[in-house]
Structure formats: C-alpha cells, structure tokens
Amino acid sequence: MKKTIGFILFVFVALLTQAQNWSSAEIYHEVQKLKNTSRVLYIAAHPDDENTRLISHLTHFAKCDVAYLSLTRGSGGQNLIGSELSETLGLIRTNELLEARSIDHATQYFSRALDFGYSKTPDETFEIWDKEKILSDVVWVIRNYQPDIIITRFSPEVNPDRGTHGHHTASARLALEAFDLAADETAYPEQLDYVKPWKTQNIYWNTSWWFYGDKELYKKILAKEPGAYTYLNVNQHSPLLNVTGSEVSSASRSQHKSQGFGSSPVLDEQPEYLKLLKSASDLKFDELTSRNWSSVMNGKAIDKALSKLLKKYHYTKPSEIVSALFDIRELIQNTPNSVLRKTKIEAINQIIVQALGLRMEVNTGTHFTFQGAELKGELQIYNPSDSEINIRKMVWNKNTLVQNQTVSKGGTKSNFALKLAQDQEVSQPYWLKYPVKNGYVNMSNLREIGSPMGDYAFETQMEMTVDGKEITLSLPILYHTTDPVKGSIHQPIIIRPDVMLNLGSTVYFLNMGTKQSVTVELISGKPNMSGYVELNLPDGWTSEPKFFKTELKNTGERKTFTFTISGPSKESEGRVRAIFKTNEAVYSQGYVQLEYDHINHWAYFPTADAKLVNARIETRGKQIAYLPGAGDKVPESLRILGYEVELLDPNKLPSALSPEDYDAVIVGIRAYNVNADIASFNNLLKDYIEKGGTGILQYNTRHRLKSKELGPLPITLSRDRVTNEKSAVNFLVPSHKVLNTPNRITQADFKGWVQERGLYFPSEWHEDFDAILGMQDDGESEKKGSLVVAKYGQGHMVYTGLSFFRELPAGVPGAYKIMANLIALGQEE
C-alpha cells in the first residue's frame, strides 16, 4: 500500500445546514485569518467542558485555527430538554457541540471514551476507559490536527481540598502524556501509515477560580507566582465584525441546551489565565498564537501577498480579490505538505466562493428514504459576479450527477436522479454501530476515530472552474422544504430500515407468576411491507399470541401490537427482541428520531430489544402514598409488584396521613430540595409515623434544603457516595428485620446494580437509628449511612441514599426485595 503521509484522510462533515453567506467585512476577516498559521487544540472530557470564551477569543481575535477534543459524547449526563438519555443523549450532545463550533468557528473531535457517569478519581476512570486506547486516540487527534499549542481545561493534579471528577483529571493527564508521545515515532506506529509524528510546542492548563472554590483564594494563588501565568482579556471588541468575544462565546455556549447552559454576554473584561504545564520550545503563548508564514519553507511570499491584498481590499467589490487569492493558493501549494497547507487551501476555496457571492445548493425533496430507492435532486447555482463558472462535474459515489454546466451571470438549475444500492448502509451514526466494551466504543478503524459524525452518505464532490481556474469543493445533498411558519428548512437525508420496531419499555420486570403486557410499535420505512410481528424470547418464556400477521401500505405508517408474556417457574433474567419477518428478511431495528430545532434531525436505529427479569418478591402491605420530588419512576416500579400507589400533590397536601389508609409513605428523590412547602409535609409525616406508619425518605442534597427537619429524628446529610456499583456490601446488623422479612437479603441481591450504589448519604444520625449497610469506594473509609432505620413512636422511619430511582427501573431484583422489606417494616410477620 502506498503511504500517504501528513494528510487528514477523513473529511469531517460538520454542519449540514446551508452555508452562511459572509458580509464583505467577514470576508476581510477570513483573509486576515489566512495570515495566521497558529493552531490550538483544546482538550477536556465532556461536551460543555470547553471554555467557549477562550476558544472564541482565539478564533475571532487572535485569528488562530482552533479545535476542541471532547473525549466523550456526554451520554452519562442529564437532559433538560427531553427524556432522551444514554446513547441518544450522546447523539444530541455531539450535535450541540457541532452547532457551538459553527458559531465559534472551531473544529470538533471526539475519542472512543464513553461517559459512564460520575467517577471520583482518574485511576478509576482509566480502569474503565482502557487508558491505552484513549491515549492512542488523543495522540491520533494531535497528529491529525498538528497544533502549536495544547490547552487543557482541567489540572492534571487532583485538588486535595475540592476533589475532582475523575474524567476531568484524566483528560488533562492524557493530554500531557500524548504531548510527548505524539512526537515519538515509536509510539503507536500503526498510525504512521496515515499521519506523521507531531511535536507540539507548549501545553497549558486553562485554570479558573472554581477549581479552588473561592475567588479570593484564586487571586492569592495567582499572585504567589506572577510569572507562571499568561493573562488574557478574552472579551475584546472587533470593529470589523462589530462583535465582542463574549457575544460570540455566549451564543456558542447557549447551544448546550440539553445541559441548560444558556448564557448572556457580559459588558466587561473577561480574564483568563493559562499555566504552562510543559514546553518543547522557548516561544511564549503570544508568539505561538500569532505565527505567520515566515517560519514555513517558501512561506515569506505568502505573507507579503496577503498583506498586499488586504491593503487594497475594496469593501464594495470583494470579488476583485479572487484572482489574487488564486495566486496565493499557488504559493501555499508550494509549501511542504502539512495539515496547515490543506486547511488554508480549503479556506481560500471557501473565501473565493464567498467573494464571488456564489450560491450553490444540492437539494432533494426526500427526507427519509430506504435501501434501493431512487432520489430525484437538483443542483442550483446563482452567480452574481462577472466571472464565468463551469461545473466540470459533480460526483456522488463514483456517479457523475451533473457535468459541464456553465454559469455566466445569473442562475441555473440541473436535475439529476440517483439510485441507492440495495446494500447501501442505513444512516446509523458510526460509533453506534459498534459494541461498547467496558468504558469505550469497541472500534478499531483508525480512519473513523476522532470524527464527530463520520462520513455523510450524501456528500458530493464538485469539480469546478472560475475563469478557467480549478476549485474542488464537497457539497452535501440535503432535504429541502419550505415550512409555512419556519421558512426554508434543510435537513440531512436519512436512509431507514424497511421496517422498524419500538418496544414500549427497556425493562420488563415480572414478579413470579404474574404476567406483563409488551407493546410493539411497527413503523414502515418503505411502502407495501407485509409479514409477521413476533417476540424472540428466552427458553421458558412465552407470549400470547405467538405472532400477529399484518401489512403496512404506506411509508411512515405505524401500528401497535400488544403481547402478554409469562416467565418460567424459576428466577431468571434474559432479553426479549421484537422482530418482523417477511418472506425475504427478518427486521429487528428500532427507530429514534431527533427533532429538536437547534440541531440536525438525525435518526438512529438501535436493536429492538429489552431486558427481562423474573424474580420472586414477597410483599406485605398494599397501600402506598408517594410524594414526588425532582422526578423518578419509583411509583411505576412499585405498581409492578402489586402495590396500589397514590401520588400526593405537593401543593395540595391532605390534612392528615393515617396508618390505617397507607401501609407506607414514600418520599421521592430530592423532595426536600424542590418542594416549597415540604416543612408542612414533614409535620404530616412525623404524625403519621408516630401513629404507627412507615415513612421512607429517599436521597436529598444537603444544599438548598427547604426544611430543617428530615422526618421526625435528626439526621445530617453529607456528600458521601459510593459510585462503584460493584463495591462490596457489609451487613452491619444481619438480624435486622429489613434484611430478613419478608425477603431474605443476601450478597446476591447486590449483584447487577447499575451506575452506583447510592449518593448523598447522611454522615450523622440520631442514636435511635440502626445503620444497616456498610460500603465504600476504593481507597475510602467505610460509609454506613446508605440505609438507616429507626423506630419512632408506634412506627418506623427510614432514610436511604441507595439509588432505588436507578435500580428499580433497571429491573434489579435485589433493589426490589429491599424496597419490599422497607415497606413491610410495620406489618405483622
């Protein structure tokens, strides 16, 4: 194989919206940027970790090329705009980053690392991520981007006072190691078939006061070593663009909508400090962010020609610079092969198109399509300039769709049709095609690693000439429509499976001997599909009926089918898969479609399967009152066990709660943080427990508590948590009723927990409480506050930070058994 060294071999398709049209001042600004050859790579762990203030300053004011490497796609986070979590949230946040980058003009990269949720130490993070894999990815991105400077958002040191998020510290440590390894030709030699070793000059930490938790302390730390920090005011004003750094960065930041990070510009100085972590040169930050072509072989003439062009730029006639830009492009072509050269040539091609005022769109009226379909499309060009444009050819997948089309002043349209192959892949985001192995995506195709969305199936290559001089561009074919309310809309074209199936739940939990209904929604991706809907079940499980025969006539038609399933007569776990069988094929992919206004409308097609659990859970008691907190699905899980759960309205509390009406009163997560009138509820609860009821409080955070009391007995909350869901559990009072009645709890009941054991445990409690369980994360002391139980009056009071809100919806039998025992505390044996 011939080695091609020094190129970025993958083309990143960034945003598939229509290109922005630049004003004459913006064109001038972009020509100025051609003069600056500095490249900066910013590295952190999650989407939203990046400092858009510093990035916007570097792109818009220092005029460098900047990229952000987010190690993860943020799938372990929360979602403020919808119910999507895990992979789907990762897809949303990937696209929020792309939108942010389209505003601050940086480039986006990712690694294979998975955001598996909170971790306390970098060592714990590395164990789960497979450090070698992720380190190789960071080296790969550095070699692909060829930066002069790397900036980390986080310190490689763990702050002894404040602790750290393991992912954050890990991201800085990986950046530091990769800084050296990227230059080492013996490191990751398999990458050298595609990229050269790369020596970055300096690596900095972009420090902040919140790392110390206190602005005054931060000032003192900065003052102690005045020479150690580079200071920047990142809120400057550009008279050319009439925009401030803060205006750009807050607009970029506000794209992180799923995280609720909307932000307003400030009208003041914005200081940023950088601390040098390691250097390979004597050059200072200012010098490394203002490099020009003079340090590049054959580069001096480029500087000169750009200065000359800027001097005679005519704001009302930007098209006058086109011929000089072609000359400069030739000069750049004579410099050594590098990512810089490639980036600047692409930038010049863009500037030429903008300076001419060209409009080029490749549109189709089809949003969703299927394998083997034919699409009709149209290339539209508008040329307001005096230059003659010739489209030599526009190629898609080796097919020439348009050729030899000349556009003198005015507009032109060319129609084309393209036929999708029968085996053309469906539009699955590339990293979701691979299995997840522990904490990373198990893929090894180097050329895919790093890319935000991978190759777009509908990218065309356009070869054209402007007054006889060649330009090549890639243009996506997009779905275009005019919405009566929103106006012109462009979206990516999505190839869907012929048929898709969505199950009603991700977990089906059966209390032994009971039945559960399973719904399957069937959606057609192409017309005239007929066949059988079935459930693939493990041995011993059955469904009623066995199948449904059905037909879907139109694309997008939906039908819902309900099966009743029964489990075997012994405890077991397995998976159910929904399938659609035709004479030719078996389909088993689901359908998730994103339809948020601020990001592209991508879709993905996960396997249509769900977890099955068949467990024997004994219950005592029937009636439960549940006071909702910040939102959890515990009531639904309790109903599966046969309890009757009445939701209390926090704004319309009853005048009393009686043990005769309710066998237990359960309080939802963070109810004492979010309900304004929780103190009144607490009085009702005290009275209820005193008269013989069982009160069960789930976790609250110690800050912003809206009541001084939590139940009838004093308790002090802390930040203690056990994040390792496999950590050993110590039974502190083995004979306690909670561990024995009606379900005997054993070590087996702590297997298969998800994400964590629990959080925000109390650190102190009244002497009447028994602490039932002991547990700890590696390297920490045993925490005894995860479950405390006391007798109070005639009844029982329970406080628990165990993560029932995660474990019950995930179908963890042990968590169901413990909850059933808590509810049974006040019942006769």
Q: Which spans of this chain sit near Zn ion (rule: CB under 5 A)?
A: 45-46, 49
CB of 804 to Zn ion, least distance (A): 26
Q: Which is nearer to Zn ion, 78 or 415 (CB)?
A: 78
CB of 45 to Zn ion, least distance (A): 5
Amino acid identity, residue 629?
Answer: G
- Cis before 742 (ω within 30): yes
Handedness of CA 612, 628, 786, 776 (dihedral sign): positive
CB of 175 to Zn ion, least distance (A): 14
Amino acid identity, residue 17?
Answer: T
Q: Which is nearer to Zn ion, 49 or 756 (CB)?
A: 49
Q: What is the DSSP string of 240-269?
A: TTTEEHHHHHHHHHTT-GGGT------SS-
Q: Which is nearer to Zn ion, 46 or 737 (CB)?
A: 46
Q: Which is nearer to Zn ion, 35 or 256 (CB)?
A: 256
Q: Which is nearer to Zn ion, 46 or 196 (CB)?
A: 46
How many alpha carbons lie under 13 Å from residue 125 in its C-beta half-sphere?
25
Exposure letters 449-478 (e unless 16+ CB within 10 A, then b): bbbbbbebbbbbebbbebeebebebebbbb
What's the first-to-final CA gap in the chain, in angstroms?
A: 76
CB of 259 to Zn ion, least distance (A): 10
What is the SS3 assignment for 89? helix
Contacts for 597 with CB less than 8 Å, ≥ 6 apart:
none
Consecutive H or E run containing 582: none
With vertex at residue 4, the alpha carbon angle to CA 8 and CA 396, rounded to the nearest 5 degrees, is: 60
Q: Which is nearer to Zn ion, 46 or 73 (CB)?
A: 46
User: Which of 535, 530, 526, 465 lies closest to 496 in space, CA to CA?
Assistant: 526
What is the SS3 assignment for 87? helix
CB of 128 to Zn ion, least distance (A): 16
Q: Are 202 and 196 in contact (CB under 8 A)?
A: no
Report the DSSP pairing between strands 609-615 and 507-511. Answer: parallel
CA–CA dist 395, 378 (Å, integer): 13
Q: Which is nearer to Zn ion, 46 or 480 (CB)?
A: 46
The rounded Cα 447 to chain-centroid distance in angstroms is: 21
CB of 670 to Zn ion, least distance (A): 21
CB of 93 to Zn ion, least distance (A): 11
Q: Which is nearer to Zn ion, 52 or 588 (CB)?
A: 52
CA–CA dist 346, 356 (Å, integer): 16
CB of 49 to Zn ion, least distance (A): 4
CB of 431 to Zn ion, least distance (A): 19
CB of 43 to Zn ion, least distance (A): 12
Q: Which residue is nearest to Zn ion (CB)?
A: 46
CB of 46 to Zn ion, least distance (A): 4
Within 10 angstroms of residue 66's Cβ, the number of other Cβ atoms is 28
Q: Which is nearer to Zn ion, 45 or 381 (CB)?
A: 45
Contacts for 722 with CB less than 8 Å, ≥ 6 apart:
756, 757, 758, 759, 761, 775, 776, 777, 783, 786
CB of 44 to Zn ion, least distance (A): 7
Q: Which is nearer to Zn ion, 97 or 537 (CB)?
A: 97
Q: Which is nearer to Zn ion, 151 or 493 (CB)?
A: 151
Q: Which is nearer to Zn ion, 50 or 137 (CB)?
A: 50
What is the SS3 assignment for 294? helix
CB of 48 to Zn ion, least distance (A): 7
CA–CA dist 818, 801 (Å, integer): 13
CB of 78 to Zn ion, least distance (A): 12
Q: Which is nearer to Zn ion, 119 or 776 (CB)?
A: 119
Q: Which is nearer to Zn ion, 259 or 427 (CB)?
A: 259
CA–CA dist 15, 21 (Å, integer): 14
Amino acid identity, residue 103?
Answer: I
DSSP 749: G
CA–CA dist 616, 513 (Å, integer): 8
> Is 269 exposed, middle or buried, given 0-12, 13-18 or 19+ CB atoms closer than 10 A?
exposed
Q: Which is nearer to Zn ion, 49 or 807 (CB)?
A: 49
CB of 721 to Zn ion, least distance (A): 17
Amino acid identity, residue 164?
Answer: T
User: Which of 700, 723, 670 lies closest to 117 in space, CA to CA?
Assistant: 723
What is the SS3 assignment for 113? strand
